[in-house]
Amino acid sequence: MSETILNHRKPAPVENAEESVTRGESVTREDLLRARDRLKILKARAAKRWGRLLWLLAGPGVLVMLGENDGPSMVSYATTGATYGVGFFVPFILLTFVMAYVVQEMTVRLGAATHRGHAELIFQRLGPFWGYFAMADLVFGNVLTLVTEFIAIQAGGLYFGLASWLSVAIGAAVVIGSLGLRRYVTWERALMGLAVFNLLFIPAALLAHPNGAALTHALRHWGPLPGGFNTAFLTLVLANVGATVTPWMIFFQQSAVVDKGLTRADLAQGRMDTAIGAGLAALAAIATVVAAAPLFTAHVDVSQFASGANFATALRPLIGTTGATLFALGIIEAGLVAAMTISASSSYSLAETMSARHSLNLDFAQGRLFYGAAIISTLVAAGVVLIPGAPLLAMTLTVNVIATMLMAPALLLLLLLVNDREIMRDLANGWWANAAGGTIIVAISLVGALYGVITVFPALLGS
């Protein structure tokens, strides 16, 4: 039964397009492009060129991690540094990226074992109710998050004196234009090249002249925590979790693994790709906290900031023009890369739900629904940002809080799928993966519940 369910729409990646011809199957452009990519991988593996093999197979993990270092995430990290310095949150952010790796490693296994996207599997294995529930969860989170990516692009543009409409229009054009590549590997490599600029926050942090002793103390002792435990602290805890693990990441990476054609033989490289992405993203996230920490030392009240542009402007006298410029460029990059990956996540999932073809290897005529969803969502999000008087910074921070609240049900569905031995077989979760995943679900649920309680009853914390 499971073979019928899993094979009724799209074949597993073929190693050679000629094999499909021999079997009497029609070969599409999508099949041919993926087969060519697989041939390169097979040659690299046969020649034991492990570095080239990793390079060929890397991409989904790096993109999902650096893509989640998006506009609202970097603003959350900057707010954290400006509010609490480099104390409690530096080791906490490292912990959240460990959580992100645990979650995303499961999606790599799921994609490699089934050759199916996440939305498709939920509908097939868990039924329509949970399928539509997961899609509602994803769409709600993605629409809100995509809006905040254009807020980040707008904010970065404002720092450089660009009119809001112009920076937003340029951002939308870049996101939509990337779809014109019509080749998954080319799209992936272009995004990876752009994602490297997320590391601009590292030299910005160095220009802030960080206190090495304070960083070391924070990593060893998880402190200090100025202001104590209050609503503001818990809001930033949620925002930082939401800056690292969100539902769209699960849907995107699994679909990207399938579109790239990864198989069971590629799992080692898939895991390394995800680990490298998590490491790079963690470095950039911590660097953002460190770069914004001078605002904490200078007692700057960031609660009145309207957008990420205010952070760069406020930092200029503290870390110099070069540091502030790097910070602003990093905000723009964060918004652009995330807008591309999040819109792709929505497109993959919608097309899977509608039983339509879904690949970045498709021509526009073949992938009208797939490409159309990305284009429409991008234009709508860009338009929302230009609404006069919108509370941009509040919206940016709130999105990460909402993302955290939506994560528990998404993780539960993921755990159910990776424990489905009928489709996963020997790649199903072991006890340690279930323990780690279950702990993450419980922790996120508890923090979310606590946030709800103190929001309704703020007097409990005296805030």
Query: What does pLDDT average to in each consecutive run of 10 residues of the chain (463 residues)?
Result: 43 45 59 82 90 93 92 87 85 92 95 92 92 87 87 88 92 92 89 93 93 79 68 80 86 92 92 96 94 89 72 91 93 92 91 86 87 92 82 68 81 94 93 92 81 64 54
Contacts 24+ apart (CB under 8 A), 368-375: 371/179, 371/347, 373/343, 373/346, 373/347, 374/175, 374/176, 374/179, 374/343, 374/344, 374/346, 374/347, 375/176, 375/179
CA atoms of 64 and 61, how far apart (whole Å): 5
∠ CA 148-404-111, nearest 5°, is 90
DSSP state of 87: S
Under a CB-based contact definition with an 8 Å cutoff, are residues 406 and 141 in contact? yes
CA atoms of 222 and 405, how far apart (whole Å): 24
CA atoms of 141 and 156, how far apart (whole Å): 23
**Secondary structure percentages of the chain, helix, strand, coil, to 5:** 80, 0, 20
End-to-end alpha carbon distance in the chain = 56
What pLDDT shows up at residue 9? Answer: 43
Domains and CATH numbers, the chain: 2-461 (1.20.1740.10)
What pLDDT shows up at residue 26? Answer: 65
Neighbouring CB atoms inside 10 A of 254's CB total 32
What pLDDT shows up at residue 452? Answer: 67
What pLDDT shows up at residue 52? Answer: 93
Alpha-helical regions (H) of 261-307: 267-297
List phi, psi (to 5°) of 329: -65, -40
CA atoms of 388 and 398, how far apart (whole Å): 19
Q: Note the pLDDT tens digit of each residue in 155-195.
A: 889 889 899 899 999 999 999 999 988 888 899 999 999 99
Q: Is the peptide bond before 13 cis (omega within 30 degrees of 0)?
A: no
